[in-house]
Amino acid sequence: MALNTQRFLLALLLLGTAVFVTIHAQEVGISEGRSRNSCKCECEGGEAPTEFSYIGSGSMVKGVDCMPECPYHKPLGFEAGSVSPDQITCSNQDQYTGWFSSWLPSRARLNSQGFGCAWLSKFQDTSQWLQIDLKEVMVVSGILSQGRCDAEEWVTKYSVQYRTDEKLNWIYYKDQTGNNRVFFGNSDRSASVQNLLRPPIVARYIRILPLGWHTRIALRLELLICMKKCT
């Protein structure tokens, strides 16, 4: 009798282990599927993205607190033109006269072509920046960058700052070790390089701070806005 009881308990233990392994494998599969799905840049089939809900004009954004990365991304509108010139500013902008007046920060638009197809920094040092005013607090989930369309000039690496209000101090986007995150940019003038933000940034103001460049600080840009789902 004791032997039969031991065999019965052993069978139950093995069955429980098999069920656990099966459930775990299913959960891993679901997790991996979501991870692969989360890097889409547009909704499929021409569907319209559904945006996150914003609570007031502050930094509270419903639905993003527990989301380490965004399920979907939508271009803010640099390339499409819905981002207005007054939303894009840069360091030392009051000195952009003469030839440099054709290379204002408002020219920093992804895939822009022709003369004046990028923002060119008048000075080549790590004190320069490009700033975007989103006009309201948004969830920024990625950055696409390009170099100048008609010359071998581009940004090779950069850091990011943000804030929800102009009266607040700038905050550096950090890496997992708590250091200022360094994003790797371009290696030629034409290809666009995408850097997704995990976790995304909740802010109204974004600054791109070039840390390295080829020949000259030159930048074309698009920001990605985090979308909760497609409907």
Is 61 part of a structural domain of the chain?
no
Residue 123 neighbours by CB under 8 Å, 6+ apart? 91, 92
Domain around 183: 72-227
Phi-psi region of 222 (alpha: psi -120 to 50; beta: other; left: phi over 0): beta
pLDDT of residue 4: 55
Is 56 part of a structural domain of the chain?
no
What is the residue type of 69? E
pLDDT of residue 135: 97
Residue with tokens 């003369």: 115
Check residue 180 and report its DSSP letter: B
Q: Mapping DSSP to helix (H, G, I), strand (E, B) and coil, where does residue 38 land?
A: coil
Q: Mapping DSSP to helix (H, G, I), strand (E, B) and coil, where does residue 163 land?
A: strand
The structure tokens listed for 109 are 């638009």
Report the alpha-carbon distance of residue 65 to residue 86 in Å, rounded: 31
User: pTM here?
Assistant: 0.73
pLDDT digits (tens, 9 = 90+) for 31-44: 322 232 333 334 44
pLDDT digits (tens, 9 = 90+) for 140-158: 999 999 999 999 999 999 9
Is 50 part of a structural domain of the chain?
no
For the chain, the domain total comes to: 1
Beta bridge partners of 54: 61
Beta bridge partners of 133: 205
101 or 53, which is more confident: 101
Is 49 part of a structural domain of the chain?
no
The sign of the torsion formed by the CA atoms of 180, 37, 76, 107 equals positive
Is 175 part of a structural domain of the chain?
yes
Q: What percent of the chain is modeled with pLDDT above 90?
A: 66
What is the residue type of 113? Q
Is 204 part of a structural domain of the chain?
yes
